[in-house]
Amino acid sequence: MNITANTRPLGLLGYPVTHSKSPQILNEVCRILGIPATYMAYSVCPDHLKEAVNGMRVLNFIGFNVTIPHKVAIIPYLDELDETAEEIGAVNTVLNKDGKLIGYNTDGVGYLRSLQEETAFSLKNKIVTILGAGGAARAVSITLAKAGAAKVFIANRTQSKAEELANVLGTFTSASAVALLQAHEKIAESHLLVNTTSIGMSPHTEVMPVPADYLHPKLLVSDLIYRPEETKLLLSAKQIGARTHGGLGMLLHQAAVAVEHWFNETAPILQMRAILENED
């Protein structure tokens, strides 16, 4: 990349960020689209988040991504939220529009695009169980509810958090909460099971968010984890004949939607996918 005085910055705020593949993906996107920008990952501890956001504003960043643990904490430091980010209550993408920082959440729409592209799953009259009640669960469950899911169960270790999210979902569809390890009956009723927790992520790849005997062959089992690409949950689902859907597509599509916000251009999904697939 030829960096000049006209090159503008993009970035990622998180803590930590050393695992992130966003710089590889988004610097290549800028090269392909011919945009004079460079993308860097910034490890910012929670105590310094306000200063980091103000610094990005002052330094005229085009925009930036936000990841754990800042997706909710960043909201007071932004000027505006779009409707989806406000509904979800979390931000993962920020656009600097003439000095005004506007927050978006691309996780939900990124997940839905991936699900439909890879599985052609129709949500009409379908029952969904979501494992987890954090920021990713909020984004995915609200998006699925608005897209037509007939009923959504939220299963979480802390049932009070599941109940809080179920109450939010009640605006869009029928929703209820259950403790994670008491979710067997709800999963038995479901057509789609989505793991939004980090259980099963590398290096702890031998664990599952629910026991294997909770699964059944009529399920589509979806896991947001993309390292490893096939978690133990997905492997167990395959063994009983259930369909599976991994997390790589969501990672790609949420980044693609961020590109659309920043540049008003269609992201080169095929090239972005190739970068990820070539990464160790």
Query: Does the annotation mark 71 as catalytic?
Result: yes
233 marked as part of a ligand binding site: no
63 marked as part of a ligand binding site: no
107 marked as part of a ligand binding site: yes
Unique residue bearing structure tokens 């270790």: 157
160 marked as part of a ligand binding site: yes
Give me the catalytic one of 71, 126, 186, 232: 71
3-state SS assignment for residue 223: strand
83 marked as part of a ligand binding site: yes
159 marked as part of a ligand binding site: yes
254 marked as part of a ligand binding site: yes
- CA pair distance 116, 239, nearest whole angstrom: 23
- CA pair distance 179, 8, nearest whole angstrom: 47
20 marked as part of a ligand binding site: yes
- CA pair distance 118, 277, nearest whole angstrom: 16
Unique residue bearing structure tokens 């099963």: 200
Q: Which residues contact 175 (CB under 8 A, 6 or more apart)?
A: 141, 145, 151, 152, 153, 154, 165, 166, 167, 169
116 marked as part of a ligand binding site: no
136 marked as part of a ligand binding site: yes
198 marked as part of a ligand binding site: no
Question: To 5 degrees, how large is the angle CA 126–CA 128–CA 130?
Answer: 170
Unique residue bearing structure tokens 């099971």: 193
**Phi, psi for 276 (deg, rounded to 5):** -65, -40
Q: Judging by DSSP bridges, how do beta strands 8-14 and 63-66 pair with one another?
A: parallel
- CA pair distance 155, 267, nearest whole angstrom: 34
21 marked as part of a ligand binding site: yes
Binding site residue list for shikimate: 20-22, 67, 92, 107, 226, 254
Which residues are catalytic, by number? Answer: 71
Binding site residue list for NADP(+): 83, 132-136, 156-161, 224, 247
Binding site residue list: 20-22, 67, 83, 92, 107, 132-136, 156-161, 224, 226, 247, 254
